Amino acid sequence: MDAPLSAFSPRAATVQHRFFSPGRVWALATNTLTELIRLKIFYFLLLFALLLIGSSAFLVQLSFQDQFQMLKDVSLGAMSIFTSLLAILATSGLLPKDIEDRTLYTILAKPVSRLEYLMGKLSGVVLLLFVSMLLMGVMFAAVLFWRVHVVTGELVTGGGPQELIDQQLRDLHATAYNPNVWAGGLVIYAKACLLASLTMFISTFASSSIFTVIVTVVIYFIGHLQATARDYWQVSNGAAMGHLTKAFLAFVSLVFPDLQLFNLVDEIVVGTPIAAWLLYKTLGLGLMYFLIYLLAAFFVFSNKEL
């Protein structure tokens, strides 16, 4: 009776297992991206388009310097809001949903390590954010070119001395096109990725996704004040400050990320030049945050009872 069974061996022998496989991470990442896209999450881009077109229609009444300045402020501000929200909301649901639907069991029962699982999920969000930034960037550029085209026509047909027109056109191009805007976009993206990683970390020990969202949003706000707390704590060392206040400031400085450092876009938009090394340093810090939160998430998740 045993003979025919042992003759049919479903799989040749013991399979060689690879400790870490980028292929598995990629499969999880693309799957997460597909899932999020099919959730129709990109509908928010319609909102962005509406905002762009609406504001550019409204801004027509302002001078062209104002117009382009505000168009850039609004667009990059909206990119920042949307990517941050997207990062937090998309990430917060991933883990709870997989646990609740027991999909996580089917995945972890495959030869997938928990690190690969977390990395895959997070990479999916990172891809999603990248696609969103790209789409918003394209929309923004299209509106910008269109407005420049319109305003150029107005200036040229408006008449006046040639020297003045030339000067105005130069001004127009200087205000409208700013070669540093892409750097601002990069920093926005870095911040969103940082937030995604942070959200993933929190969701590994949170009891629900709503808890994750609330905690992350609170961290988001405090993160923008972290620098102030740090300055206070460090500058006024030994000054008249209670131990409790000092401990509190130290806590804020050590625990919360300094998100103010990723707010370069305000100044970039008005034309403040950014040195390459300063940009890379800032992006490097963002990457460090991303990795640390991922690692912390892995520590919690690897010992989690599912």
Partner 1 sequence: MKIDEGIAQATPSLGSRRRQYSSYAIAALMVLVFGAARLPFEAGLTRQHRAASFGNVQLNLGLRAKIGQLGFLAALSGFRTLVADLLWIQAHTAWEKVEYGRMNLMLNTVTTLAPHNVNFWDLSAWHMAYNASVAAFNDSKQPKLVRRLQAQHQYFMVGKDFLERGIANNPGAYVLHQSLGAIYRDKLEDHWNAFLEYDKAAAFARAPTYEKRFAAYELAKVPGRERQAWERLKRLYDMGPQERLPTLEKSLKAMEEALSLPEEQRVYKTPVQNPLDIIGKKLQIP
Partner 2 sequence: MSTPAIAIRNLTKVFPIPFRRDRVVAVRDLSLEVAPGQVYGLLGPNGSGKSTTMKIVLGLISPSAGRTEIFGRDSQIVDSHEEVGFLPENPYFYKYLTGMETLRFYGKLCGLRGAQLADKAGELLKLVGLEHARDRRLGGYSKGMLQRIGLAQALIQDPRLLVLDEPTAGVDPRGSAEIRDLIVGCKDRGITVLLCSHLLGQVQEICDRIGILDRGILVREGKLEELISIEDQTEMIFRDAPPALLAEIQQLVAKSYPQVNLLETRKPQTTLERYFLEVTTAAKAKG
Contact residues for partner 2, defined by CB under 8 A: 2, 4-11, 14-15, 17-18, 21, 23-24, 27-28, 31, 34-35, 38-39, 101-103, 105-113, 303, 305-306
Min dist CB 137 to partner 2, Å, is: 26
Q: What phi and psi, each to the nearest 5 degrees, are found at residue 179? A: -60, -15
Q: 76: which residues sit within 8 A by CB, 6+ positions away?
A: 140, 181, 184, 185, 188, 265, 269
| CA 171 remoteness from chain centre | 32
24 binds, among partner 2, partner 1, none (CB under 5 to 8 A by kind): partner 2
Nearer to partner 2 among residue 2 and residue 163 (C-beta) = 2
- Find tokens 């319609």 and name the residue: 46
Q: Confirm if 215 and 195 have CB atoms less than 8 A apart.
A: no
Out of 20, 145, 146, 299, the residue judged to bind partner 1 by CB under 8 A: 299
Nearer to partner 1 among residue 81 and residue 141 (C-beta) = 81
Out of 27, 35, 51, 73, the residue judged to bind partner 1 by CB under 8 A: 73
CA atoms of 152 and 65, how far apart (whole Å): 13
By the rule CB under 8 A, 15 interacts with partner 1: no
Question: In terms of C-beta density within 10 A (0-12 exposed, 13-18 middle, 19 or more buried), how is residue 121 classed?
Answer: buried
- DSSP letter for each residue of 206-219: -SSHHHHHHHHHHH
Q: What phi and psi, each to the nearest 5 degrees, are found at residue 31? A: -65, -45
Q: Sign of the C-alpha dihedral, residues 150, 156, 159, 162?
A: positive
Q: 81: which residues sit within 8 A by CB, 6+ positions away?
A: none
Min dist CB 209 to partner 1, Å, is: 19
107 binds, among partner 2, partner 1, none (CB under 5 to 8 A by kind): partner 2
Min dist CB 109 to partner 1, Å, is: 18
Nearer to partner 1 among residue 15 and residue 275 (C-beta) = 275
By the rule CB under 8 A, 259 interacts with partner 1: yes
Q: Confirm if 220 and 84 have CB atoms less than 8 A apart.
A: yes
292 binds, among partner 1, partner 2, none (CB under 5 to 8 A by kind): partner 1
Min dist CB 28 to partner 2, Å, is: 7
Nearer to partner 2 among residue 101 and residue 166 (C-beta) = 101
CA atoms of 124 and 110, how far apart (whole Å): 19
Residues found near partner 1 in the complex (CB under 8 A): 62-63, 65-66, 69-70, 73-74, 77, 80-81, 163, 167, 170, 175, 201, 205, 220-221, 224-225, 227, 230-231, 234, 253-255, 258-264, 266-267, 269-275, 278, 281-282, 285, 288, 292, 295-297, 299-300, 302-305
